[in-house]
Structures are given as C-alpha cells and as structure tokens.
A and B are shown apart, each in its own frame.
Chain A
Amino acid sequence: MGARGTAVAASALGALALAAGCGPQEPRIEAADATVRVPLNPDVTSAYLVIENTGGADDTLTGVETEAADEVQMHESVEKDDGTTGMEERAEIPVKAGETVEFASGGLHLMLMDPEELDAGETVPLELHFAESGTVEVQAEVEDVMGEGGQDDGGMDDTGHQDMDHEDMGDMDHGDMQH
C-alpha cells in the first residue's frame, strides 16, 4: 500500500514537472529533411526542409542564416494573375502549434544568395531563427539537382534525412524524383 502510494505520488509529480517544463503552452520546433541544391548558377541556390511544431504554442520563423551563403531569404513560388510563375519574399513564416511547414519545390523555399561552392554530399548548417524558440540549427545535405546526394547516387533523397520520427511525412519526400 505504502509503496503504491509513493509511486502514484511520484508519477503525479512527474506529470506536473512535464507540464511545467515542456507543456502545451510552449512551441517545440523540430527541423528535418534539410537539403541544399548544388548551386547551378554562381549567384543563387535553393534549400528545402520540413519544420514541425510539436509543442502547444505557436511560433514564427523570422529568418535563416548559413555560413555557406551571404544571405538567406525566405521565398514562396507563386502563380500570378498574368499567368507567370514568380517568387515572393516572406519576412515571417508562421509555424503554428501542431503544424508542419514544408519548404518544397514549387512552394516555400530558402534562397541562398551568393552561395559558396558546394558539392553534393557535403553538409551545410542552417540556423533557423524563431520568435519564441530562438535559434534552431539543422544540418542540410547538399544535393545534386538530379536528386543525387553524392556517395549514393541511386538514393535520391535518402541521404538527406535528419531523422525525427515522422509517420505523417514518411512518404512525401520520396516520390517525385524517383522512377
């Protein structure tokens, strides 16, 4: 009886600690699947990643930096009324509680201005600045435009994973470039 009572008390305490420490009222940011395209033109290249907020409060991505480029801008490819496809710069990207934001070709992407020379298979750190969570760093894999990450050339995206557990995004990133 006594032992059991202690166990219950301990687990209640645990629950309390959990609520205080990383409870539902805080954002919790995880960044994964980051890739940088080998620059095809010396002026610019793009980077992609997935940001998930598994916490209980909203957050906002306010900027990105990397040592591999002079500047990183956040862009979105958009279809305009005149039938053209262009890009618009975004100052902030909301990452709401429980939501996943994908930077993917044809949508949101990071623009690396004046990038260094980068070879497929290299790794580049991206510093993601969030309004609430501060700076989150993610390692981005440099990929050839044909989807090859260097050493394993049949693998397309497979080398780029910074794995977190993501049942819900498992497949999204394996499809299009493969046969």
Chain B
Amino acid sequence: MRRKMCAAAGAAAAVALLAGCGGQAATGDGDSPYNGSEIEGAFTLPSTEFTDNKGEPYELKADSAGTYTAVFIGFTNCPDICPTTMADMSQAAGMLDEAERDQFRTVFITADPERDDPELLDMWLGSFDPSFVGLTTDLEKTDATAEELGISVSRPEDRSGDYQVDHGGQTLLFDPEGDSKVMWSYGTEPEKIAEDLETVIGEDA
C-alpha cells in the first residue's frame, strides 16, 4: 500500500495539535527522541467505561494499566485510513520481541458506536490482529474520551445512509500508568513505530 499524506503535513499537524493543547516543549522531529512526536504527559487515559469486542466491560485507564497502550480512534466503515493504521500497528507489534510484545497492546476506540457493536469490532479487528482490543460506548462518552485525548471527531447530523465519521488520524502511545508518551501521525511506517516502541519500553526496562 502506498501513502499520499506527506511527512511535512503530518509534522505540521503534530505541531498544531501540540500548540493547541497547552504548549508542549516538543516542536518537531528535531527535539523528539522518537520517530513520532514526543507528548510526554500531555494526555492521560480517562477512567471511562467501555464494552470491549468480547462484550466484556473495559475501563480505559484501569484495564490498560500495566502495559504500554496504543490508542487510535476510528470506525469500521472507514475503508482507507483506519485499516491502514491498524495494519501498520499489527506489523509494528510483529517486529517486537516477545518480551516487548507482552508489554504492549493496541486499543481501537470506535468513533461510530451506533454502527460498530462489539461483534462487528471483533470481526473487523480480527483481520489485523486478534490481540487488538476494540472498545465501544455511548456517543457522549466517546466524544468526551476523544476530547480528553486531543483527537477530533466529527460526525454528520444525518446518519441514515452511508455516512462517514471524520476523525483525527493520529495514534497515541500511553505508558503503563496511562500517561501519554508518543504520538504517531497517519502514515508513520511500521518500522518507525516499532523502533519507538522498543525505545519507550527499553527506557523503563
């Protein structure tokens, strides 16, 4: 799969996002010890109740504690950006050694809970990696979570036909305490993501 969005656009978006959420020090790739943008502590996983893709309750902060957690917000009717990102995360995880992989998980939160029920999430995520966790909750909690994480979500008023949900394309990595570490913009190559994961996991080892 080829990608169109250029690195410059991604970097610009990252800077804009950081500027928008209260002036983090990192201003570009030059200052980041990672391939992605450093977002040390800029966001914290909220203690929001979700239902996971197996139909079990999942409290975002508590149930993610103890592992490095990558969070992406998307929807399964998204044919281009979302599957590409999930495939990249799966490939990146595959590049880790087993000990690293045990400390890492990927969480996909649906921005479209009206269509994405646990069953559909389970089927969809199973195409990438059966270890991925898919989360759904009501619209209000979904939007509140997205806001907490600095990820924009915008849904059309009329959701009758084949509608699309616009959403930020970034993936955020949280440490085992639920504090943000790294942000990857859409199109970051799996090798680069894997390198960052190794760095982050290695820092605490």
Residues of A that sit less than 8 Å from B by CB: 37-38, 40-41, 43-46, 48, 75, 77, 79-80, 82-87, 102, 104-109, 111-113, 144-147, 157, 172-173, 175-177, 179
Check A79–B83 contact: CB distance below 8 A. Answer: no
Check B153–A107 contact: CB distance below 8 A. Answer: no
Check A105–B84 contact: CB distance below 8 A. Answer: yes
Check B166–A105 contact: CB distance below 8 A. Answer: no
Check B77–A43 contact: CB distance below 8 A. Answer: yes
Can you list 10 A-B contacts (CB < 8 A)? A37-B83, A38-B127, A44-B77, A46-B79, A77-B4, A79-B5, A80-B166, A105-B1, A105-B2, A177-B91
User: B166 contacts which chain A residues (CB < 8 A)?
Assistant: 80, 82, 84-86
Total residue contacts A-B, CB cutoff 8 A: 122
Interface residues of B in 112-153 (CB under 8 A from A): 120, 123-124, 127-128, 152-153
Q: Per a CB cutoff under 8 Å, which of A43, A46, A79 touches B13? A: A79
Check A107–B124 contact: CB distance below 8 A. Answer: no
User: B189 contacts which chain A residues (CB < 8 A)?
Assistant: 176
B158 on the interface (CB 8 Å rule)? no
CA distance A145 to B132 in the complex (A): 15
Once A83-B13, A102-B2 are accepted as A-B contacts, the answer to whether A75 and B152 lie under 8 Å apart by CB is no
Chain B nearest Cβ from A176, distance in angstroms: 6
Check A108–B154 contact: CB distance below 8 A. Answer: no
Once A45-B79, A145-B87, A177-B1 are accepted as A-B contacts, the answer to whether A84 and B128 lie under 8 Å apart by CB is no
Check B2–A48 contact: CB distance below 8 A. Answer: yes
Check A105–B80 contact: CB distance below 8 A. Answer: yes
Check A84–B153 contact: CB distance below 8 A. Answer: yes
B168 on the interface (CB 8 Å rule)? yes
CA distance A82 to B123 in the complex (A): 31
